[in-house]
């Protein structure tokens, strides 16, 4: 199981939100410095979220993104505000290895199909859910589509990798929704990266045992519940 230290970027800073709420934010510093830190700790992949783009539909972070990619000097995936082919192309040109389509996957599946054709191997879909239903636009809107139904639609379009987040768990340090994640894996057979609520090493073991291809490390890592080195060592066992 691959571990993905996360950096959420909002207005040029690395932050963490609780349950995706813009007014409940903790600032953790410079994204460029943190990218270098997580790479030095042994991470092979970095998970970036452009929260400004997710909330506003456009980004001012492209210069910062290039700096972060250079500082990490490894594989970088990025989500947040990717709603057009131009949005995706700009991130790929900036050095992103995998682009995560979120809101647009639910609202404009044709974009996913076109992106998979134009950027093979570089497209994933982020599915964020509240009570099993897909949440969009920075988690401020909830649809009537289930996470499993959306995942199966994306599989038909050529997507092989999902990032699954239970919004109610994100940033709350209460553990991930392992059962919902397991059900998604079993229903789709896709590579699923688990996210949201990871607070201890046991959570990583549970996600691995559920069949996750990866796990995203967020607030627990920033607040010292465990280190990247400890998490990587745990995955070797």
Give the catalytic positions in this structure.
Answer: 8, 128
Q: Give 10's strand partners.
A: 13
> Radius of gyration over alpha carbons of the chain, in Å?
16
d(CA 103, CA 106): 6
* Cβ proximity of 80 and 53 under 8 Å: yes
- Closest residue by Cα to residue 164 from 191, 144, 145: 191
d(CA 190, CA 187): 9
d(CA 67, CA 181): 33
């Amino acid at each position: 199981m691959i571990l993905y230290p996360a950096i959420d970027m909002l207005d040029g800073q690395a932050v963490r939100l609780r349950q995706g709420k813009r007014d409940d934010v903790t600032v953790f510093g410079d994204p460029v410095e943190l990218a270098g830190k997580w790479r030095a700790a042994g991470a092979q992949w970095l998970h970036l979220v452009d929260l400004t783009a997710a909330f506003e539909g456009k980004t001012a972070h492209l210069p910062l993104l290039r700096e972060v990619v250079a500082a990490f000097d490894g594989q970088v995936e990025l989500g947040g505000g990717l709603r057009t082919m131009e949005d995706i192309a700009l991130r790929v040109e900036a050095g992103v290895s995998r682009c995560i389509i979120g809101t647009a996957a639910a609202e404009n599946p044709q974009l996913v199909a076109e992106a998979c054709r134009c950027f093979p191997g570089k497209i994933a879909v982020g599915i964020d859910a509240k009570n099993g239903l897909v949440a969009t636009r920075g988690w401020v809107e909830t649809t009537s589509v289930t996470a499993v139904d959306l995942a199966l639609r994306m599989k038909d379009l050529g997507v092989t990798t999902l990032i699954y987040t239970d919004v109610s768990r994100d940033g709350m340090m209460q553990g991930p929704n392992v059962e919902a994640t397991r059900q998604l894996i079993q229903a789709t057979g896709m590579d699923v990266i688990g996210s949201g609520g990871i607070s201890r090493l046991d959570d990583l073991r549970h996600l691995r045992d559920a069949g996750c291809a990866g796990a995203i490390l967020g607030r627990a890592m920033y607040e010292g519940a465990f280190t990247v080195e400890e998490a990587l060592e745990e995955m070797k066992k």
